[in-house]
Amino acid sequence: MQVISSKDNEQIKAIRKLKEKKYRDETNTYIIEGIKLVKEAIEEKVNIKMIVICEDCEEENLQNAKNQSSHIEQGLLYEIAKYECIYVTKKIFNLLSEVQSPQGILAVVEKGDNSENINYEEDIILALDGIQDPGNLGTILRTADSANLKQIILSENTADPYNPKVVRSTMGAIFRMNIIRTNNMLETLKAVKRHKFEIVATSLNTNSSVYDIKYYKKVVVIGNEANGVSKEILNIADKKVKIPMLGKTESLNASVAAGILIYEYVREKLK
C-alpha cells in the first residue's frame, strides 16, 4: 500500500484546491470530512470520486469512532474499500483537513445533478436572500431537511453551500437537498409568484406575526443577518411577518428565525 507523504503530489494538490469555491465550481466536486458524512454519502448513493484515509491515524481514529458511535456499522470499512482510496501521512491529511481534531477520513464527492428547475408541487419553498454565515446556512439546510423540504433557493450573494463549514453543519442534509442558485433572486421570485405561490418575507416593520398565516403554497424568504430581506424583495412580498418577542431582543439569528417559520409549516402539517 502506497502512502502519500508529499504535498506536491498531484492528487493532493487537486484536493487542496477544493478548499476554494473557484475550483469546486470548476470540477463540480467538494470535500466531505468525517466518518458520519462519508457513511451518509455512501448510503445516499452520492457519487464519491475518492476517499482519503490518514494512514497514521486510521487504526486509532477510525476504530475509536466505530466504538463510540452506534451509527457506525462494523461493515463501514468494507463499504469504503469499494471506492478509490488513497492513503496519506498525518502531516498531509492535516493539510487537507478543515477541523481541529480530524477523524482521519475525508472524501471528494460530486455536487450531484442539482436541477435549476423549481418543483412547484411542494407546499412550501425556502429562499435565502444574502445569508452570509456558513454556519447559519448549514443549520438552515439541516432544519429544512428535518421538515422534509427537498429544495432551497439561494441568492447569488448567499454563502457557498459547498463550503466545508456549511457541509459539516448540514450533517448530511446537503445530500438530500436540491440547491437552486439564482443570479437574480427578484426575478426568480416573480416567476414563482406566477405559479400561484405567495411570497412571505420576514420583516421587523410589520404588525403581522408568523403565526397569522397559513404555510401553503408559500415562498418563505429569510434575509441577510445584518440587513434582513432586501428592499426589492420586500416590495413584491405578498405578506411581511415577524416573530413575536416578549423580551428586549429585537431580532433573532437567521437560522433560528428560519427554524421557527419552517416548524410553523410542520405544525400545520401535523394538524
Domain boundaries, the chain: 3-110, 124-269
Cross-strand pairs, 138: none
Q: Give residues with Cβ within 8 angstroms of 261, minimum separation 6.
A: 200, 202, 210, 215, 220, 222, 241
Q: Give residues with Cβ within 8 angstroms of 242, minimum separation 6.
A: 202, 203, 204, 206, 208, 209, 210
Q: What mean pLDDT is predicted for residues 103-122? A: 88
Nearest to 114 by CA among 155, 161, 52: 161
> To the nearest whole number, what is the mean pLDDT of the chain?
90
CATH superfamily of 3-110: Ribosomal protein L30/S12 (3.30.1330.30)
Predicted pLDDT of residue 38 = 94
Nearest to 152 by CA among 182, 184, 112: 182
Rounded alpha-carbon distances, angstroms, from residue 123 to 50, 217, 219, 234: 37, 5, 9, 21
Q: Is the pLDDT reported for residue 91 higher than 60?
A: yes
Residue 253 in grid coordinates: 439569528
Q: Is the pLDDT reported for residue 65 higher than 70?
A: no
Is it true that domain 124-269 has CATH number 3.40.1280.10? yes
pLDDT tens digit sequence for 128-168? 999 999 999 999 999 999 999 999 999 999 999 999 999 99
Rounded distance between C-alpha atoms, residue 105 and residue 79, angstroms: 13
Q: What mean pLDDT is predicted for residues 3-13? A: 94
Helices 254-269 and 134-146 cross at an angle (nearest 10°) of 10
In the block, residue with C-alpha cell 463499504: 79
Domains 3-110 and 124-269 share a fold: no
Q: Is the pLDDT reported for residue 69 higher than 70?
A: no
Rounded distance between C-alpha atoms, residue 228 and residue 251, angstroms: 10
* pTM (two decimals): 0.88
Residues constituting the chain? 271
